[in-house]
């Protein structure tokens, strides 16, 4: 599993959108009668390759959010102490007045059409800003507007859903309150709202930024994706990286969201928010590609922990099909399965300490398969907690804690390697190094073997650093990993010579 360094590889720049077609050195656009347009590999792509680097088309404060946000960077405001000197909409600092979209699109428009900010810190007007800003593309950047309109909005489906009423609120604010009915039709407003709902990427540490990336939107969804996307808020780009080797002509896929939930939860979420019923290989397999991510355990006293999974998981018509024990054939209503999952998911979210989490895992043992997504989420958080939490820092951990961390990391890694290859490697190598140190101190292991073990850890660490460097929020971690952990490890290996 050694990831090749991406050093020396050509950076992929994309700003070609000729006649609605898309082409880069690595990718091309194709059309399927079922999914519409999608991106595919032009040749074999190695894992860890940056395959797309796209600049945001348009961004703004989160749609339909009532909280006051800075008009420049969209961070929430607790008080309004600074205002744009032109249009008087709120800012968090002076620099934000010069932010690209505000200064180029809406600032002078606000002044011209006398659109004043709301007086209160809570107003749905904040949630309509991104919609207005996007509509302004029609006037200010017709080419970008055309690009935007090539995206799906699913208005015909959305018309019958409760969310349509939120669109109507945006429509009233824009057409009536702001008096822009002469410029934008109700249809155009619904279309923009729909495009955000179906294609929007929520960026920023708290998902407070609504943004559109037209090329990235062409990437097909799969719950076992072959690519991952990483945002860079500072230069408003999205970077797509291959997580596995991708064959020539294979579609590029990514997981929109909720990759680490079970199929029933994931599918219902995708259906509700993205308007499609996922039929990927993972969704159509009751055992979720051998991960048992949804498998619960049979409660029949005569049946020892038989695996209970959905009886029919292909086709939308079977979304509420019964579940069944594969050992004793006992039938479980899907509503009961959902009730158990919801109950334990809620409890899981409230757990704070390592002890609480370990106790919860003991309770889960008789209810869920060990790699069901509920105990999995707790195990995932424990991988980090051992080595970071108070009382369990790398220096405070006992040898058995370190063993436990490694055991959990390996268990989690095994699943993540199938569902979302990547970022647990760093934690795993940290536990290995600690363990090696303890074993070395005890004198139970020859130096040559220890060197080999640590060399292996170094490879894992390097692989983790490459992945961290690709991901904006993890970049800091990559720096610290390089500066301290990596150097420490190299010293350690040298000392064993």
Q: Which residues bind Zn ion (CB under 5 A)?
A: 70, 72-73, 84, 86-87, 92, 96, 107, 223, 278, 280, 283, 298, 300, 303, 306, 325, 327-328, 330
Starting at the earlier edge strand, list the strands of the sheet with 209-212. Answer: 58-61, 209-212, 201-203
**CB closer to Zn ion, 241 vs 325:** 325
DSSP per residue, 312-348: --SSGGGTT--EEETTT--EE-HHHHHHHHHHHHHHH
Q: DSSP secondary structure string, 341-369? A: HHHHHHHHHH--SHHHHHHHHHHHTTTB-
- Minimum separation from the CB atom of position 324 to Zn ion (A): 9
For Zn ion, the closer of residues 73 and 195 by Cβ is 73
- In whole angstroms, the minimum distance from the beta carbon of 321 to Zn ion comes to 16
Buried b / exposed e over 79-104, threshold 16 CB at 10 Å, is ebeeebeebebbbbeeebbebebbbe
User: Which CB, 75 or 172, lies closer to Zn ion?
Assistant: 75
Would you say 109 or 360 has its CB closer to Zn ion? 109
Min CB(306)–Zn ion separation in Å: 3
Whether residue 93 contacts residue 82, with contact meaning beta carbons closer than 8 Å, is answered with: yes
**Shortest distance (Å) from residue 69 CB to Zn ion:** 8
* Token pair in block for residue 99: 């932010």
* Nearer Cβ to Zn ion (259/406): 259
CB of 91 to Zn ion, least distance (A): 6
Tell me whether residue 73 or residue 478 sits nearer to Zn ion (CB atom): 73
The minimum distance between CB 35 and Zn ion, in angstroms, equals 13
Interior/surface letters 195-212, b for 16+ CB within 10 angstroms, e for the rest: bbbbbbbebbeeebbbbb
Residues 442, 448, 453: CA angle, nearest 5 degrees: 75
| Smallest separation, CB 114 to Zn ion (Å) | 13
Q: Which residues contact 119 (CB under 8 A, 6 or more apart)?
A: none
CB of 92 to Zn ion, least distance (A): 3
Q: Which C-beta is closer to Zn ion: that of 101 or that of 492?
A: 101
Nearer to Zn ion, 310 or 457 (CB): 310
What letter does residue 290 receive in the DSSP assignment? Answer: T
In angstroms, the CA 309 to CA 323 distance is 5
The nearer residue to Zn ion, 212 or 223, going by C-beta atoms, is 223
Any idea what the Cα angle at residue 56 is, between residues 474 and 14, rounded to 5°? 95
Q: What three-state secondary structure class fits 97?
A: helix
Element (H, E) at 210: strand 209-212
Nearest to 18 by CA among 195, 147, 142: 147
- The phi, psi pair for 434, rounded to 5°, reads -60, -45
Cβ closer to Zn ion: 54 or 264? 264
Least distance to Zn ion, CB of residue 273, Å: 14
Report how far apart, in Å, the C-alpha atoms of 180 and of each of 103, 190, 494 are. 20, 15, 70
Helix (H) or strand (E) holding 27: strand 27-32
By beta-carbon proximity to Zn ion, the closer residue of 293 and 392 is: 293
Q: Of 157, 159, 184, 163, nearest to 173 (Cα)?
A: 184
Q: Report the distance separating Cα 37 and Cα 261, nearest Å.
A: 27
Give the residue ranges of DSSP H helices in 200-315. Answer: 263-274
CB nearer Zn ion, residue 92 or residue 464: 92
Phi, psi of 69 (to 5 degrees): -135, 155
DSSP 10: P
For 159-172, the three-class secondary structure string (H helix, E strand, C coil) is CCCCHHHHHHHHHH
Smallest gap from residue 278 Cβ to Zn ion (A): 3
Q: How far is the CB of 96 from Zn ion (least distance, A)?
A: 3
**At closest approach, how far in Å is the CB of 264 from Zn ion?**
11
């Amino acid at each position: 599993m050694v990831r090749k360094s991406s050093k020396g590889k050509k950076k992929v720049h994309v700003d070609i959108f000729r006649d609605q077609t898309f082409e880069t050195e690595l990718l091309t656009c194709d059309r399927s009668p079922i999914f519409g347009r999608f991106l595919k590999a032009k040749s074999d792509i190695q894992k860890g390759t940056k395959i797309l680097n796209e600049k945001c088309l348009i961004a703004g404060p989160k749609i339909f959010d009532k909280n006051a946000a800075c008009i420049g960077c969209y961070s929430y405001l607790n008080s309004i102490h600074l205002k744009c000197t032109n249009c008087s909409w709120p800012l968090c600092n002076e620099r934000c007045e010069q932010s690209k979209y505000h200064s180029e699109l809406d600032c002078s428009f606000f002044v011209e059409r006398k659109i004043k900010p709301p007086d209160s810190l809570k107003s749905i007007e904040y949630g309509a800003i991104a919609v207005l800003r996007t509509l302004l593309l029609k006037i200010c950047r017709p080419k970008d507007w055309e690009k935007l309109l090539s995206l799906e909005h699913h208005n015909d489906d959305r018309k019958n859903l409760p969310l349509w009423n939120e669109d109507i609120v945006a429509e009233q604010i824009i057409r009536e309150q702001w008096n822009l009915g002469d410029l934008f039709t109700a249809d155009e407003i619904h279309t923009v709202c729909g495009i955000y709902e179906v294609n929007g990427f929520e960026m920023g540490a708290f998902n407070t930024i609504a943004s559109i990336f037209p090329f990235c939107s062409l990437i097909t969804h799969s719950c076992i994706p072959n690519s991952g996307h990483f945002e860079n808020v500072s230069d408003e780009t999205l970077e797509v990286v291959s997580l596995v080797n991708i064959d020539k002509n294979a579609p590029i896929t990514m997981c929109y969201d909720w990759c680490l939930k079970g199929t029933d939860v994931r599918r219902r979420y995708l259906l509700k928010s993205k308007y499609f019923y996922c039929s990927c290989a993972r969704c159509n397999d009751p055992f979720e590609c051998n991960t048992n991510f949804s498998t619960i355990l049979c409660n029949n006293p005569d049946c020892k922990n038989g695996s209970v999974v959905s009886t029919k998981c292909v086709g939308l018509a079977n979304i509420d099909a019964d579940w069944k024990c594969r050992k004793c054939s006992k039938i479980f209503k899907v509503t009961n399965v959902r009730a158990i999952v919801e109950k334990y998911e809620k409890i899981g979210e409230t757990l704070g300490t390592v002890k609480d989490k370990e106790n919860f895992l003991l309770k889960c043992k008789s209810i869920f398969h060990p790699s069901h997504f509920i105990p999995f989420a707790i195990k995932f958080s424990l991988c980090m907690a051992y080595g970071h939490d108070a009382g369990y820092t790398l220096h405070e951990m006992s040898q058995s804690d370190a063993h436990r961390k490694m055991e959990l990391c390996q268990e989690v890694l095994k699943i993540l390697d199938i569902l979302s290859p990547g970022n647990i490697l760093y934690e795993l190598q940290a536990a290995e190094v600690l363990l090696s140190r303890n074993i070395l101190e005890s004198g139970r292991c020859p130096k040559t073997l220890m060197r080999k073990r640590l060399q292996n850890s170094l490879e894992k660490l390097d692989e983790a650093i490459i992945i961290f460097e690709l991901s904006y929020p993890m970049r800091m971690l990559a720096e610290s990993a390089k500066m301290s952990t990596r150097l420490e490890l190299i010293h350690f290996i040298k000392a064993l010579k």
